[in-house]
Structure 1
Amino acid sequence: MSRADAPDRTEIGAHPGDRDGEPLLSVSDLRTVFHTERETIHAVDGISFDVHAGETVGLVGESGSGKSVTARSILGLVDEPGVIEEGAIRFKGENLVEAGFEAHRGDIAIVFQDPANALNPVYTVGNQLREALSIHQGLSGKAATEHAIELLEAVGIPDAPRRLGEYPHQFSGGMAQRAVIAIALACDPDLLVCDEPTTALDVTIQAQILDLLADLQREEDLAILFITHDMGVIEETADRVNVIYAGEIVERAPTQRLFAEPEHPYTEALLESIPGRTPPDQRLPAIEGEVPTPNGPADACRFAPRCPMAVEACRTAAPDPVEVSAAVDHAAACIFAGDDGDQTGGDDE
């Protein structure tokens, strides 16, 4: 998605919420593991971040980094053999890991990346909307239908009364994603978790969905956790960004700071992969290799095998986060973070 096609950041994620108050969502040292017959996979390995009311926080990384498992953990949707093994997920001050997730089912809603899988193909869109309204707001009959129409209109679906009687396959990809967002809004949430909500859409529809989320955030004062692999989208949507790699957050910073002064080599590599940042006569840079499966506690930098700056120290100990700037809450888990000296990389002699 190019900057020309994306919405202005003055519209989405433009107000950072009440950063002086308690966060709406606070994730602390969260560890979600999957116990299989062969190994234990540490899919989310000790991550921490906050989301305040009214702000958009990005969680960005390649496929396999642990983004979707993080989203499912926050909503209590991790299926066996997965389990939240350690940490806290505090929503409005209550630790959901201890208290349970049911009491806040309507307060946190999720928008999945593929509307074709998120919608049930054998029920009309209207039935699915009315079911959500019945469960989360206690509405039924005429009241549920009227509110369902209002929700479809709110997400920009024309001729809403007729659309209620149609099935998901009768909707285009963009319309189906709007319907998924409408169902999420039927919960009347305070926090909207968007898990790659534009990945399955073309560039034009992506921009429309991002515009829609911006409008809804402004009108409903929603907090948004925006999960994606697309750094271009993150630049245009988020107030603050958490970069996740192999289950660990390797860098966090306000968006503008992160894009201007990245401190972790992985963040730099993701930024270099954005189309438009590379001269037209050069090949778009790629990160060699793949995200590793974290099948044990971190005893080294997990990015080291792919990192051009890696030295022996990177392979012998897991780096602690370095506070690059406490004033703007910028930290990176890299031994070179905050080092203004000349680092040429490569192995130690």
Structure 2
Amino acid sequence: MTVTVGRDSTEVVVAAQWNRVLGRFPASIDDNFFENGGNSLKAARLAGGLRKAVGREVPLHVIFDLPTVRAQSDWLRTRRAGGADAVMTLKPNGGGAPLVLLPGGGGSLVGLGAFADARFDRPVHGLHARGLAAGEVPATGMAELSGEFASMLDADGLPRRIHLAGYCSGGVFAYDLASVLARSGWEVLSVTLLNSTLAVPDVPHEEIVLQRLRQLAGSAGTAFGAGAGPATADELFLQLRTSGQDLLEQDSAAFRRRLDVHAALWRVIADYRPRSTTIPVALFSLPGRFDRDLAEAVGASDWDELGFADFRQIDVADPGMPLVAHEPTLDAVEAWLRDVEGRP
């Protein structure tokens, strides 16, 4: 069934800005901006248009994290003035307990848009790590990071009975946050780990940034710091931008901030050694997720070695796509959440 766009003034504003940027109105509030001709440059125009239309800051990552009319409208409705720490809403309604998603290594919810799908019969929210906005400094330890996430949830007024989940490094953040919330009176029904590992080498911040720059350069067919290739992050950003790469960031300062957040979050996990919990935990695991040799070298355990009272591992054959876009896995996640809620 097609849902008419414009159920309230917020959707009218969002649809009008889509028309300005894309040259046509969305057919449904569940239309995806990037599947309808959007790209990074048009996303910047959309963020700017919404900023002018609603009279408040609309960060660029909102367009990437929440690419539908429904999600963008919900974000605009619930955004607190001046609150960069506000909880983001990917899906506002549903019969089950809310699901809160933790950010991956880039610090944001990029790639997790499929959790706004109707297959999840529950509200779905998400958090961002500090450091992506100008003037912010990334967290330097798990206690600091989880404390900030807990403060965001407390301030937002969500029901204190929730599920937590995260993809890759986000799963580790979700696991630690679960313990922090439980100690402060929240009922955390479950933690879902999506291909998360604890085997992360302890590498200096600068080396992590350098590795990431080399990866980005390699994906664009160039070499960072070698020969005629780019020698600085700013040079690489300019080369990627001029070669047509669809980057999230619109300026080199934002590009460098995300590199710093990536390195800081890597370091958080490298220093982290979790304790067991009584909260139900499910791990959705792809082949090659856990490197036993690396784990032994860094003194890390795998999740099933932590002695959980309620632990389930679901091995997923390589789906040929990101796990968080794999529909059978998403269905299995929702089934897991319903199973936990149905327990006496």
Q: TM-score range by the shorter chain?
A: under 0.3
Higher RCO (Cα < 8 Å, 6 or more apart):
1
Higher normalized strand content (fraction of residues): 1
Higher normalized helix content (fraction of residues): 2
TM-score by length of 2: 0.23
